[in-house]
C-alpha cells in the first residue's frame, strides 16, 4: 500500500492530565485535565523556530510570513477612514455569520474569473483560511476519521485536523503532485477517507504547482472514489512565470470545499479568508462558525471590501509578483552558487513558479534538524521538513522562504547553510 495511516488514536479514550509546560510547576498540581484531542496537539515546530529566528542578527529563511513591505497601507488607511466615516455603527455592530454581502459578492465574481461558478450564497467569510480548516475539522470529521494528505503538506492543516481527532493517510506522489491511483485506493478502503486535503498552487511547503492534467486526474479519482476534496489556495495569485491552471473545484464543484485567503495578497493581520461550499453543505459550516466566533470582524470585512471595490488589486498584484519574483530569482541564484552541482554537497531543489518557498532535499546522511542547529550557530534559520509530513518521513528535507529577506541576506543565508552542510559531510 503506498499510503500509510500514521496517526492512530490512543487506545484509552479518557481525558489526559495537563502536560507540564515547563513553567517550573508540577503538572500534578493542576486541577485541569485536557481533552484527548488537545493532548495529541503539539506546539508548532515553525513557531518554536521562529522564536530562535527573532534573535538580533539572525537571517530568517524560516518564516511563512508575507513581506510587510508589500502591505497596501495607503489603500487600507483610506478604506478604514471611509468605512468609519460612512457606516461606523454598522461596521462596529454584530453582523451576519455568513459574512458581509458585498464581500461575498466580490469573492463569487473573483472566482468566476478562475472558472468557478459560485453563487454568493455559497461563500462563508472566515477568519483566514486557517479557520476554514478548523471548520472542516468540525463539520466533516468524526473522531478517528481519515483525511488523505499530500506528502509533504501544510503543517497548520495537520494541526487543525489533529484537533478534530483525525487520522492521516499520506498520499505518495511525484514532482507533479499526489498520485491519483493512491487516492482512488483510499476510496476502496474499509473505512474510506472522509476527504482529501490538496494544495494545488505553489504548495506550502514544497512550492509545487500541480499541472492541469494531474488536476483533472486527481479530481476524477476523487470523484470515482467518492472522497471529497478540500482545496486550499492561499498562494494562487502569487505566480511569477504564468498563472496556475484552473482550480480542482471546477472539475468537481459538488465534491469540493474551496478555501481562499486575503492574507498573502493584502495582509494577514486582517484575518480574512473565505470558504466556498456546495449549497447543501454551507449551512453546516455557518452553524460551526456561529459556535466558534459568531462572525468574522465586520469592520475588517468592510475595510477589505472597500479596498477590493476600489480596484486596487489590478495594480497591487503585479507589483507584489514583481517583488517576490526578485526574491525567488535571488534564492535560485544563491542555491546554484553555494549548493549547485559544483559544490559537491548533494542537494536537490526545483525553483518554484510561484508562492513563497523553496524546498530543499538534502543528501542521505544529513538530518535537517541536526543541520538547523549548525545553521543557527552560523546565524541563519530555516524550517526542517519533517513537521510537514504526516507519515513521519521528511527528515532530509527543509523549507526556505524568500519573501521577507533581501537578496544579500538570501545569499549570506544560503552560504551559511552550505558551510553548515560541509561541517556534516
Ligand X SMILES: Cc1ncc(COP(=O)(O)O)c(C=O)c1O
Interactions with ligand X, residue window 55-84 (CB under 6 A): 64
Which listed range, 122-130, 136-144, 164-172, 313-321, lies at the site for ligand X (CB under 6 A)? 122-130
Convert residues 180-219 into a mask of x (bound to ligand X by CB under 6 A) and - (unbound). Answer: -------------------x----x---------------
Question: Beta partners for 397?
Answer: 361
Nearer to ligand X among residue 271 and residue 284 (C-beta): 271
The total number of residues shown for the chain amounts to: 425
Choice from 151, 162, 250, 263 touching ligand X (CB under 6 A): 263
CB-based closest residue to ligand X = 128
Q: Does 300 bind ligand X (CB under 6 A)?
A: no
C-alpha–C-alpha distance, residues 279 and 250, integer Å:
15
Nearer to ligand X among residue 179 and residue 206 (C-beta): 206
C-alpha–C-alpha distance, residues 220 and 325, integer Å:
33
Give least dist CB 341 to ligand X, A. Answer: 31
In 344-377, which positions are buried (b, 16+ CB within 10 angstroms) versus exposed (e)? ebebebeebbbbbbbbbbbeeebebeebbebbbe
Give least dist CB 157 to ligand X, A. Answer: 7
Nearer to ligand X among residue 7 and residue 206 (C-beta): 206
275: CB partners within 8 A, 6+ apart: 123, 124, 126, 129, 132, 135, 257, 258, 259, 260, 285
Q: Of 185, 153, 178, which is closest to residue 1 (Cα–Cα)?
A: 185
C-alpha–C-alpha distance, residues 399 and 52, integer Å:
16
Give least dist CB 166 to ligand X, A. Answer: 16
Choice from 173, 268, 394, 413 touching ligand X (CB under 6 A): 268
Which listed range, 128-136, 137-145, 314-322, 361-369, lies at the site for ligand X (CB under 6 A)? 128-136
CB 274 within 8 A of CB 124: yes
Give least dist CB 86 to ligand X, A. Answer: 27
Give least dist CB 300 to ligand X, A. Answer: 12
From the number of C-beta atoms within 10 Å of its C-beta (0-12, 13-18, 19+), residue 176 rates as: middle
**Which residues are at the interface with ligand X (CB under 6 A)?**
64, 128-130, 154, 156, 199, 204, 232, 234, 261, 263, 268, 273
Amino acid at each position: 500500500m503506498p499510503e500509510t495511516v500514521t496517526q492512530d488514536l490512543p487506545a484509552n479514550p479518557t481525558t489526559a492530565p495537563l502536560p507540564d509546560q515547563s513553567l517550573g510547576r508540577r503538572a500534578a498540581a493542576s486541577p485541569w485535565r485536557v481533552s484527548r484531542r488537545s493532548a495529541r496537539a503539539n506546539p508548532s515546530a515553525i513557531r518554536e523556530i521562529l522564536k530562535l529566528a527573532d534573535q538580533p542578527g539572525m537571517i530568517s529563511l524560516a518564516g511563512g510570513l508575507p513581506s510587510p513591505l508589500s502591505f497596501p497601507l495607503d489603500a487600507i488607511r483610506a478604506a478604514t477612514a471611509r468605512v468609519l466615516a460612512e457606516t461606523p455603527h454598522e461596521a462596529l455592530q454584530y453582523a451576519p455569520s455568513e459574512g458581509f454581502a458585498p464581500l461575498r459578492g466580490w469573492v463569487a465574481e473573483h472566482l468566476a474569473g478562475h472558472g468557478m461558478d459560485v453563487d454568493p450564497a455559497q461563500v462563508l467569510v472566515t477568519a483566514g483560511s486557517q479557520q476554514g480548516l478548523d471548520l472542516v475539522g468540525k463539520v466533516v470529521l468524526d473522531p478517528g476519521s481519515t483525511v488523505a494528505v499530500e506528502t509533504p503538506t501544510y503543517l497548520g492543516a495537520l494541526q487543525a485536523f489533529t484537533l478534530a481527532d483525525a487520522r492521516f493517510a499520506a498520499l505518495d506522489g511525484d514532482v507533479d503532485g499526489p498520485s491519483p491511483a493512491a487516492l482512488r485506493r483510499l476510496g476502496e478502503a474499509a473505512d474510506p477517507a472522509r476527504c482529501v486535503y490538496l494544495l494545488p498552487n505553489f504548495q506550502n511547503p514544497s512550492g509545487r504547482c500541480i499541472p492541469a492534467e494531474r488536476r483533472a486526474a486527481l479530481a476524477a479519482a476523487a470523484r470515482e472514489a467518492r472522497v471529497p476534496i478540500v482545496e486550499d489556495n492561499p498562494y494562487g495569485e502569487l505566480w511569477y512565470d504564468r498563472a496556475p491552471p484552473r482550480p480542482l473545484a471546477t472539475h468537481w464543484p459538488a465534491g469540493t470545499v474551496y478555501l481562499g485567503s486575503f492574507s498573502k495578497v493584502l495582509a494577514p493581520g486582517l484575518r480574512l479568508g473565505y470558504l466556498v461550499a456546495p449549497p447543501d453543505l454551507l449551512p453546516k459550516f455557518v452553524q460551526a462558525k456561529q459556535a466558534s466566533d459568531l462572525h468574522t470582524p465586520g469592520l475588517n470585512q468592510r475595510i477589505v471590501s472597500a479596498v477590493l471595490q476600489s480596484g486596487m488589486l489590478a495594480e497591487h498584484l503585479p507589483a507584489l509578483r514583481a517583488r517576490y519574483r526578485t526574491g525567488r530569482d535571488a534564492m535560485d541564484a544563491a542555491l546554484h552558487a553555494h549548493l549547485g552541482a559544483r559544490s559537491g554537497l548533494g542537494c536537490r531543489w526545483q525553483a518554484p513558479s510561484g508562492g513563497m518557498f523553496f524546498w530543499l532535499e538534502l543528501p542521505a546522511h544529513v538530518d535537517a534538524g541536526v543541520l538547523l542547529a549548525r545553521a543557527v550557530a552560523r546565524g541563519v534559520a530555516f524550517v526542517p521538513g519533517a513537521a510537514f509530513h504526516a507519515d513521519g518521513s521528511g527528515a532530509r528535507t527543509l523549507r526556505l522562504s524568500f519573501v521577507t529577506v533581501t537578496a544579500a541576506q538570501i545569499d549570506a543565508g544560503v552560504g551559511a547553510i552550505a558551510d553548515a552542510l560541509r561541517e556534516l559531510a
